[in-house]
Amino acid sequence: MAESTLVDNGAAAPEVAPVDAPPALPTEKLKRIPKPDETEYNAKFVKLNAEIQSKRARVAEIKEVLDNFHERRKGGGSGEGAELRNKISDEKARFASVLAKKNQLRDQLERINKHRDELRSQAKATKDKNQYMKQEDIDEKMAKLQHKLEHTSLTLNEEKQVLQQLKDLERMRATVDQYADAM
């Protein structure tokens, strides 16, 4: 089989060793591998075990911290977290009550302002309607009209007018009294 044969694509096929031949046996004797040094092995083993133990301890610490964190989140926590939440809820409640009181006072102030504005408008209307806003002015005008009525000669219509003015002034006196009481 030393001849090369052509493959389909025209290239020569590689030569293959015969399959029937057993592998060649080594001619020299193999050397025995020395036993490993146990002290070196033990030192490495102890060192690696110490590293493993320290890593396990660190993992246990982390697990404990995470478990505590999850416990506090689930159970509402205890200690500082619960105290802080209680303080926050107390402050929220206090703020809500202060806000409600503020709104109540604002409503009361609005009612008072509305009442004050009504009184002002009434006073302005009274002032606009009446010429005289003081009792002395009314008394003085009534005295003049009374004097005019008694000491001058008037026609019947003029006398009726003066009497009507006296009645109007008498009504104004009552209105001025109410105005003075309101103010």
Smallest CA-to-CA distance from 141 within 167, 178, 180 is with 167
Most confident of 18-27, 66-75, 88-97, 117-126: 88-97
The pLDDT assigned to 22 comes to 77
Residue 171 has pLDDT above 70, yes or no: yes
The pLDDT assigned to 9 comes to 61
What does residue 21 show for φ and ψ, rounded to 5 degrees? -85, 130
Tell me which of 132 and 76 has the higher pLDDT: 132
Residue 35 has pLDDT above 70, yes or no: yes
Distance CA 83, CA 90 (A): 10
User: Could you tell me the pLDDT band of residue 79, with boundaries at 50, 70 and 90?
Assistant: low
Tell me which of 148 and 91 has the higher pLDDT: 91
**For residue range 142-166, what is the model confidence (pLDDT) as tens digits?**
898 888 888 888 888 988 898 998 8
Residue 44 has pLDDT above 90, yes or no: yes
User: What are the residue boundaries of the structural domains of the chain, listed by start?
Assistant: 59-129, 131-183
